Chains A and B, each alone.
Chain A
């Protein structure tokens, strides 16, 4: 199972094994990791599952859809490595991925 490390804004780290085929957002929600709201439930419609992906992993991610780019306009303090975690499905290539959470969602 791919391991995902979520780093909260206050620095708290959570390393969790998440089932293949789930998204980074779903891994956080199912394991009650604070900092990801996912108001719309993963339909790329709200920008409350915003994460910063560790630079080492950026080129391994699936490409951003137009819908995701549009939605990111609504995220709080976006950076070049901002992504919506509901749009990143986990597989072996992402085993070990590290994401940091923003100060707040929306």
Chain B
């Protein structure tokens, strides 16, 4: 069990800045995120889109913002627990026990939920009853490419994941069928070119204008049925199906934590952004209060105020003194400034 002053749920910009605000108060934090990288929506949805309303940064991309925040919190040597989702929160002797999907367990007086619009989960094909196949031969990611050797594989999607894997797996697969809803691809052009070359060589069968209609099989998918806009059907026998329909956001287990919710957001007070549960805070897009704006800059403010209350809960015997970063020698020490 990891004991820490705060657990931050969500490694987006607001979660990262919460690390900073806690850090300059001398509090350590562990950050949990369901994605495989930090940055949240800024990295997953719009790494290259410019943002114009970060104070004192006239223009920056989601990626730059994330990198700058990581640079800013470097002195605090924060532990990130990626690829896992916080599943449960339980009260114990005035503290919280936090457990993740990877069975990482924390004990902490403070939880800061900076979860944006929830955790990113793979988007599933629009077919009823596919959960059965998720245990056998329907996949949303490739963990070990050797599992697909010498198989007939159907791949859905037109982005980088779908095309990268179509190209890569075609080396050892018996046959790849790539299915995409239109004849344009979002994937990088050089990957599209490679895929087209493999198609010409007969290693990849390409079906554009088709969408999944039905997966047939008992315990595993034996064949798929796809349909185009003219309602024409096609059947393809398969050993495995890879579906790359991107990620979607879901509030997930947060709804089970007894927090007051309003329109898929968590209700907080504006004094310290605490929820109806003592020691659980919500900041950034996931919180709501009268006048709330879903802006990164508002999230930064919310994180700063939540951190003050976190200090009181983590250091009940110490006196809190407000200090500026320009002049406080304590803060300079924490930032590693000599």
Is chain B a partner of chain A in the same complex? Answer: yes
Could you list which residues of chain A lie within 8 angstroms of chain B, going by C-beta atoms?
39-41, 43, 45-48, 69-70, 73-74, 76-80, 103, 106
Known: A39-B248, A73-B158. 11 other contacts (CB 8 A): A40-B41, A45-B41, A45-B49, A73-B157, A73-B181, A73-B182, A73-B186, A74-B245, A74-B248, A103-B126, A106-B248
A46 interface neighbour in B126, B157, B158, B248, Cβ under 8 Å: B248
Complex contacts, B180 vs chain A, CB 8 Å:
73
Residue of A nearest to B125 (CB): A76
CA–CA, A45 and B117, complex, Å:
13
B46 interface neighbour in A43, A76, A79, A80, Cβ under 8 Å: A43
CA–CA, A76 and B127, complex, Å:
10
| B123 contacts the other chain (CB 8 A) | yes
| B142 contacts the other chain (CB 8 A) | no
CB <8 Å contact, A46 and B249: yes
A-B contact count (CB 8 A): 45
Ranked 9 nearest A-B pairs via Cβ: A106-B248, A45-B45, A74-B246, A70-B186, A39-B117, A76-B126, A77-B126, A39-B249, A45-B46
What DSSP secondary structure best describes chain B's contact surface? loop
B211 interface neighbour in A45, A48, A74, A77, Cβ under 8 Å: A77
Complex contacts, B181 vs chain A, CB 8 Å:
73, 78
B49 interface neighbour in A41, A43, A70, A79, Cβ under 8 Å: A43
CB <8 Å contact, A79 and B157: no
A79 interface neighbour in B41, B123, B229, Cβ under 8 Å: B229
CB <8 Å contact, B158 and A48: no
Complex contacts, B211 vs chain A, CB 8 Å:
77-78
Complex contacts, A73 vs chain B, CB 8 Å:
157-159, 180-182, 186, 245-246
Complex contacts, B245 vs chain A, CB 8 Å:
73-74
CB <8 Å contact, B123 and A69: no
Task: Scan B301-334; emit 1 where CB is below 8 A from any A CB, else 0.
Answer: 0000000000000000000000000000000000
| B36 contacts the other chain (CB 8 A) | no
Residue of B nearest to A102 (CB): B126
CA–CA, A69 and B184, complex, Å:
9
CA–CA, A69 and B183, complex, Å:
11
Complex contacts, B158 vs chain A, CB 8 Å:
73
| B197 contacts the other chain (CB 8 A) | no
